[in-house]
Structure 1
Amino acid sequence: MAGQNKIRVEICGSRYVVSSNESPEYVKRLVNTIENKVKTIMDSGPSVTLNDAYFLALLSYADLYEKSELNADHIRSQLTEYLEDSTKAKLEVDEYRRENEKLRREIDILRQNIGRDH
């Protein structure tokens, strides 16, 4: 693929080459985040292995991802409701403006009729 970056990274002593369309800086930030999470998990107990820490980190990030997706769905739903409410309000405003204009014309006609009667 054109534009793919090959980025060499290291997590807890293991070296990897990552192919990504993202910038090397971005990938390295992700790697640092993962490494910090893995190290934190490993520091939580003497019996935690590197594989345990990778699995728990992966589980934690999968949980965050799922919750983020649910939150994004909720926000999209709220935005849709707001847009529907906004559209409804705009239609009501247009209707009130038409009614207002109609009443103004009726008032003008009544004033003209009153003026003729006097």
Structure 2
Amino acid sequence: MNRIKVKLYGSEYTVVTEESADYVNSLAEIINRDMTGLLDSSASMSVMSAALLCSLNYLDESRKAAESSDHLRTQITEYLEEARRARLEADEAKRQILALQTQIELLKGEKGSKK
């Protein structure tokens, strides 16, 4: 576990995580940027309100990303099933072609022996 010190809107926090310091610091930069943007846009907004609005936005983004991931997983599963069925159909078609080619050769042999 890594113990990483980050500064979030003027306060220092220690984060204990498996993630790298670069990653955690990049998250802190995003939070600081978003907090600054909200607080600059409204003189009456408190730091707590800005933090809550940022949290709400991040949760919204996270849920939408999770839903999108679930949708993509479902699509991939469907595509894999379609590909499996297509392979089975192609294999069956190859077997039928081989059987028909064998029948053609047999019929050619019978026709040649009747002459």
What TM-score do the two structures reach when normalised by structure 2? 0.98
Q: Which runs of 5+ in 1 are unaligned?
A: none
**Structure 2 residue 105 is the aligned partner of structure 1 residue 105:** no
Deviations along 1:13-55, one digit per CA (max 9) or x if unpaired, are 1110111111111110011111111111111111111001100
Q: 1:98 Cα deviation (Å)?
A: 0.3
Deviations along 1:47-100, one digit per CA (max 9) or x if unpaired, are 111001100000000000010010001000100100000000000000000000
Query: Where does residue 92 of structure 1 map in the other structure?
Result: 89
What TM-score do the two structures reach when normalised by structure 1? 0.95
Cα distance in 2 for partners of 1:44, 1:56 equals 13
Cα distance in 1 for partners of 2:85, 2:63 equals 33
SS in 1 for 2:14: strand
Query: Where does residue 59 of structure 1 map in the other structure?
Result: 56
Cα distance in 2 for partners of 1:40, 1:114 equals 88
Q: Which runs of 5+ in 2 are unaligned?
A: none
Identity of aligned residues (%): 36
Poorly superposed stretches of 4+, deviation over 2 Å: none
Query: Where does residue 3 of structure 2 map in the other structure?
Result: 6
Query: Where does residue 79 of structure 1 map in the other structure?
Result: 76
